[in-house]
Copies of this chain bind each other. A is one copy, B any other.
Amino acid sequence: MRRQLTKSRKLPPSPKAWFTAGMKVAFQGVPGAYSELAAHDYFKKQKFDIVPCPEFQDVFIAVTKGKADWGVVPVENSLTGSIHQNFDLLLENRLSIRGELKLRISHSLLALPGASLKTIKHVYSHPQALWQCKKYISSIKGAKPVDYFDTAGSAKHVSELGDLTIAAVASKTAAAHYGLKELKAGIENNKKNFTRFFVLSKTKSKKIPRNPKTSIAFDLKSVPGALHKAIGVFADLKIQLFKVESRPIPGRPWEYIFYLDFAGDVTSKATQEALKALKPLTSKLSILGSYAESD
């Protein structure tokens, strides 16, 4: 990923930045994680302290409890699909989606100085990153992929192990963080590899963002053609749908919660009409947030 440091972005006001020493941004992983790169891209020149969290749910807890002003979580990768855990956590927690960012993901093969492609026997990384670099990894003679809990974390792990037979798949930034060298850059199967992140806060946006998008979640009452009717609400009002995602409802096997992303702010007339028409079809409807569409 090449960060465009010159591009400016109008920032939403931080709910706590005026009162505390500095803005704090929580993300899952260790320093050098893609989520941290996404936070820097989103908040541009604004300075912030990082709050690295062990698990995704800790990001939601940190923001809910005020330990961080913002949380940045990945929700979807253009090659491997949605990160469902974060959809579930969006519904379990009461945070608002305040922004989105699409980050070009470029993976590098990192190892200790002194290592080479010939010494590598194991490649550690998050399963999704290993999957995204499957072709390249299988081309390294005698090397096997090994699941690790996250990407930058696998770079940290390699650095700590001090073993020349182990490599990690992570960002170039992670190499600098953990004193590793880049054996090979851009090892992803497909260069059109983007991850979409949500930027979360405890408060809702007070003004209408530019190119607004809204995310909602709802279940469907068990009536014939319910999904067709629900999707039809948006088609009838000529509201553009960006994404439909279904997730299981725990305790109700083979029933689903639908996540919808569509064009428009939640306060707009069209969105209000759509939500009004949708309500009779669902037993639970949640507005997850309105935010500016990412480039």
A43 at the interface (CB under 8 A from B): no
A10-18, A19-27, A110-118, A233-241: which one contacts chain B? Answer: A233-241
Judged by DSSP, the binding face of A is: mixed
Judge whether A81 and B248 touch: CB under 8 Å: yes
Chain B residue nearest to A149 in the complex (CB) = B147
The distance in angstroms between the C-alpha atoms of A147 and B55, with both chains bound, is 13
| A245 contacts B by Cβ under 8 Å | yes
For chain A, residues 188 to 229, give those with C-beta under 8 angstroms from any C-beta of chain B: 189-190, 192, 194, 196, 224-225, 227-229
Residues of A within 8 A of B (CB): 76-81, 84-85, 102, 127, 131, 147-149, 189-190, 192, 194, 196, 224-225, 227-229, 231-232, 234-235, 238, 240-248, 250-254, 256
Closest chain-B Cβ to A149's Cβ sits at a distance in Å of 6
Compute how far the CA of A148 lies from the CA of B189 in the bound complex, rounded to whole angstroms.
24
Contact B243 A246 (CB under 8 A): yes
* A224-B262 Cα distance, complex, nearest whole Å: 13
Sorted nearest first, the 3 A-B pairs with minimum C-beta distance are A228-B235, A78-B253, A225-B235
B194 contacts A253, CB within 8 Å? yes
Question: How many Å lie between the Cα of A80 and that of B131 in the bound state?
Answer: 20
Q: How far is the CA of A127 from the CA of B242 in the complex (A)?
A: 29
Since A80-B84, A245-B246 are in contact, a sample of 7 more A-B pairs with Cβ atoms closer than 8 Å, ordered by chain A residue number, is A79-B248, A85-B131, A194-B253, A224-B235, A224-B238, A228-B228, A243-B256
Residue pair B224, A228 in contact (C-beta under 8 Å): no
Which residues of the other chain, B, contact A254 by a CB distance below 8 angstroms? 78, 196, 242-243
Partner of A250, one of B79, B224, B225, B256: B79
Selected contact of A246 from candidates B102, B127, B131, B244, CB within 8 Å: B244
Measured CB to CB, the closest approach of chain B to A151, in angstroms, equals 14
